[in-house]
Amino acid sequence: MKNEYLLGLVGTGVGAVGTSLSVTEVQAIVSIIVTVLGFLISVVIPYAIKIILKIKKAKQDGVITKEEIDDITSDLQEGAKKTEEFIEKNKKEGD
């Protein structure tokens, strides 16, 4: 009995949300989610892995040299630049 009530409540809630949102709004929300996920997969995750691996490699001998710090910093700056370019590109397309 309680499960039927809960399922009915959920079904009613989904129907109400579906009715209140138009198809265009739902498509816009899905588009934003897909764009953000694509960005994370293509830009953020590879740079994060690259930086983490470089930090681990630098810490293996117990001393992080200036060259290793410069290398990691340049990767961080490159990732920040790619992120900024992505945001600007999508801001222009969205306006």
Instruction: Specify the pTM.
Output: 0.52
What pLDDT, on the 0 to 100 scale, is given for residue 3?
A: 61
Question: What does the alpha-carbon distance between residue 36 and residue 54 come to, in Å, rounded to a whole number?
Answer: 26
Question: What does the alpha-carbon distance between residue 20 and residue 16 come to, in Å, rounded to a whole number?
Answer: 6
By residue range, what is the domain housing residue 34?
Answer: 22-94
Residue 29, domain member (yes or no): yes
Question: What does the alpha-carbon distance between residue 86 and residue 71 come to, in Å, rounded to a whole number?
Answer: 23
Residue 77, domain member (yes or no): yes
Residue 65, domain member (yes or no): yes
Residue 13, domain member (yes or no): no
List pLDDT tens digits, range 24-44: 777 788 888 888 888 778 777
List pLDDT tens digits, range 3-18: 666 667 777 777 777 6
- Is residue 72 a contact partner of residue 52, using CB atoms and an 8 Å limit? no
Largest CA distance in the chain: 68
- What is the average pLDDT value for the chain, to the nearest integer? 78
Total domains, the chain: 1
